Amino acid sequence: MAVNINETSNDVVAMNGLAAIGKTMDSQRAFFKSGVTKEVDFRIAQLKKLRKAIVDKEAAILDALKADLNKHKFESYGTEIGFALLEIDDCIKNLKKWAKPKKVKTAMFHFKASSYVISEPYGLTLIIAPWNYPFQLLMVPLIGAMAAGNCVMVKPSELAPNTSRVCADIIRDTFDSHYVAAFEGGVATAQELLRQKFDYIFFTGSTEVGKIVYQAAARNLTPVTLELGGKSPCIVDENIKLDVTAKRIVWGKLVNAGQTCIAPDYLMVHSSVKDELLEEMGKAVKKFYGENPEESKYYGRIINERHFDRIERLMQAGNVVVGGEVNRDTKYISPTIIDGIQPDDPVMQEEIFGPVLPVLEWTNVEEVVNFVNDRPKPLALYVFSKNKAFANQILEETSSGGACVNDTLMHIANPHMSFGGVGESGIGGYHGSHSFDTFSHQKAVMDKSLAIDPPVRYAPYRHSLRFLKFVMSKFA
Ligand code: NAD
């Protein structure tokens, strides 16, 4: 069926909601087939348009993040807008290089042939985003999908409605929906999108919903990236620089009021330094947010009452050594550190995703390794120690999506490394050139000369098995 690719605009998408999904699929399929998105110059031009739109809307994005999560503009720029702009700039600068076919070696027994790998776009891609970094976690995958030459449908999170609206506006004002379309909405919209046959699905959110997305993708054998969550441990050795360690843990835990997928979820500290570390962490909280963090303009709020109630319930164990104050009316939960936690306490059974840090202590490194390995593989792991051997042992004997030694969160901000989970914390990764690779199918091509055609491979086979083994081992 011939489809007029000009038939749908993002305004139509916004007006018709779910009904527009099928129509947009058709128009995107037709636009993709036209081959326009395969041109690298087109992709670069579109990324530049997106960059300009983001810069022009900076104030609206900052306002939306303030309204949804009470994020301070310094934090919003650093972790959301600036983060996305860095990704776009990296793509614009390197796209021509990334998109070139990559020559690879050819085993000698193929003589005469050459081989290369073409990065080809998948086609129609779907991106579903969460609410905690609602701008960045929608835009950064979008940038990767566009850079790789795909058409894209995005669904922002309904739980950050102001940011969802700004993202949809940016997309609507910048692109035709036959290229990039935004569908705002909640679970019903996500499910309707998941009923369609996409060529790639990129999902960021909880492990629970990740499994639903994976099942929906399996129906069509659609490849996926699943950026999920989990409980990321923060392991502290006795041999540390106390004040810096305390500041870096507190910072990583309290950015976005703890609603960060890679926030240190729980602390495992050597018993000989526990008291001193907790005292330093208390001091760091005061230094960052003052005597009463509720009055600090730098401290965020919990996204909604449901999550507020969930986190408050998790605070009902152990001994609160820092914080513990809550205000449901303003969705405020103070920075809270809880000592005396048992592994079977509720706070150790689910991802906390809030400003509450339970503390466990250890004396023997094997206890730490076993504790981590007895649980689902985390998205991140942090180890603080001046002893390289200790840090290496933890890294070697445990598995996690990513890790930092002597810091928290920062591995996510290096575009030269892929960011993603492992096991229950996710499948695949992205950022920088890894986003381009994620959204591209790596097509392996062998280009063979027609000039010579030795008969060895054809039946009837006239060479011995010994001869074949010799060729395959010596001319590889
Ligand atoms: P979520 O899984 O509840 O929702 C994510 C998205 O899925 C939303 O757009 C939502 O509308 C949609 N959705 C919800 N239920 C659905 C269903 N039944 N079927 C289809 N779609 C559905 O996650 P969230 O609460 O928005 O985000 C928090 C979680 O995301 C945490 O677990 C956190 O660790 C994780 N996270 C991971 C990363 C990462 O990069 N790995 C980043 C941020 C957040």
Distance (angstroms) between ligand 1 centre and the Cα of 130 equals: 5
- Top mutation candidate among 83, 155, 209 for ligand 1, by most atoms within 8 Å of CB: 209
Residue 78 near residue 417, CB atoms below 8 Å: no
The model's pLDDT over 267-299, given as tens digits with 9 standing for 90+, comes to 999 999 999 999 999 999 999 999 999 999 999
Which residues are 426's β-sheet partners? 227
Residue count of the chain, please give it: 476
Tokens 């939306």 belong to 64
User: Who's near 93: CB < 8 A, 6+ residues apart?
Assistant: none
Q: How far is the CA of 7 from the centre of ligand 1 (A)?
A: 32
**pLDDT for the residue 5:** 44
Q: Which region among 2-11, 108-117, 194-203 has the lowest average model confidence (pLDDT)? A: 2-11
User: 166 CA distance to ligand 1 centroid (A)?
Assistant: 19
Residue nearest to ligand 1 atom 32, measured at CA: 206
Q: What whole-number percentage of the chain has pLDDT above 70? A: 96
For residue 250, give both structure tokens. Answer: 């507190």
Q: Which DSSP string do the residues of 136-192 spell out, in sequence order? A: HHHHHHHHHHHHTT-EEEEE--TTSHHHHHHHHHHHHHHS-TTTEEE---SHHHHHH
Nearest in space to 197 (alpha carbons), one of 227, 173, 223 = 223
Dig out the tokens for 275 from the structure: 């008291």
* H/E run at residue 233: strand 233-236
Q: Which are the contacts of 9, defined by CB distance < 8 A and separation ≥ 6? A: 176, 177
Shortest-distance atom of ligand 1 to CA 213: 20
* Four-point Cα dihedral 257, 353, 209, 211, nearest 10: 130
Residues 430 and 419: beta-carbon distance below 8 Å: yes
Catalytic residue, candidates 227, 280, 351, 424: 227
Beta strand spans in 352-396 (E): 356-362, 380-384
Known catalytic membership, residue 227: yes
Q: Which of 1-15, 77-91, 136-150, 395-409 has the lowest mean pLDDT?
A: 1-15
Q: Which residues form the pocket of ligand 1, taking CB atoms under 6 Å from any ligand atom?
A: 128-132, 137, 155, 157-159, 186-187, 190-191, 204-206, 209, 212, 227-229, 261, 351, 353, 379, 421, 426
Mutate to test the pocket of ligand 1, among 80, 126, 127, 132 (most ligand atoms within 8 A of CB): 132
Measured by CA distance, the residue closest to atom 37 of ligand 1 is 228
Closest CA relative to residue 113, chosen from 442, 441, 453: 453
Token digits for 117? 């790998």
pLDDT for the residue 367 = 95
Phi, psi of 110 (to 5 degrees): -85, 0
Question: Does residue 231 sit in helix, strand or coil?
Answer: coil
For residue 294, indicate whether it is catalytic.
no
Q: What is the position in ligand 1's atom list of the atom closest to the CA of 156?
A: 9
Mutate to test the pocket of ligand 1, among 21, 157, 211, 400 (most ligand atoms within 8 A of CB): 157
How remote is the C-alpha of 416 from its chain's centroid? Answer: 14
pLDDT at position 14 is 54
What separation in Å is there between the alpha carbon of 379 and the centre of ligand 1? 14
Closest ligand 1 atom to Cα of 425: 41
User: Is 8's pLDDT higher than 80?
Assistant: no
Asked if the model's pLDDT at residue 185 lies above 70, the reply is: yes
Cα(187) to centroid(ligand 1), Å: 10
Q: What is the pTM of this model?
A: 0.94
Q: 409 with 252: CB under 8 angstroms?
A: yes
How far does residue 364's CA lie from ligand 1's centre (Å)?
36
pLDDT at 446: 97
The closest-lying atom of ligand 1 relative to the alpha carbon of residue 185 is: 11
Query: Helix or strand or coil: residue 340?
Result: coil
Q: Tell me: pLDDT of 6 over 90.
A: no
Q: Using CA positions, which residue lies closest to atom 23 of ligand 1?
A: 205
- Give the number of other Cβ atoms within 10 Å of residue 363's Cβ: 10
> Is residue 60 a contact partner of residue 81, using CB atoms and an 8 Å limit?
no
Closest residue (by CA) to atom 17 of ligand 1?
A: 187
Please tell me the predicted confidence (pLDDT) of residue 12.
53
- pLDDT at position 161 over 70: yes
pLDDT band, very low/low/confident/very high, at 19 (cuts 50, 70, 90): confident
Q: For residue 1, what pLDDT band results from cuts at 50, 70 and 90? A: very low
Residue pair 191/21 in contact by the 8 Å Cβ criterion = no
Report all structural domains of the chain as residue ranges with CATH numbers, in order of start. Answer: 11-228+429-440 (3.40.605.10), 233-414 (3.40.309.10)
Query: Measured between alpha carbons, how far is 411 from 276 in angstroms, rounded to an integer?
Result: 27
Q: Look at residues 422, 429, 378 and name the one whose alpha carbon lies nearest to residue 234.
A: 378
Residue identifier of the C-alpha nearest atom 15 of ligand 1: 187
Dump pLDDT digits (tens) for 418-464. Answer: 999 999 999 999 999 999 999 999 999 999 999 999 899 999 999 99
Tokens, residue 418: 């892929």
The residue annotated as part of the active site, out of 261, 280, 351, 404, is: 261
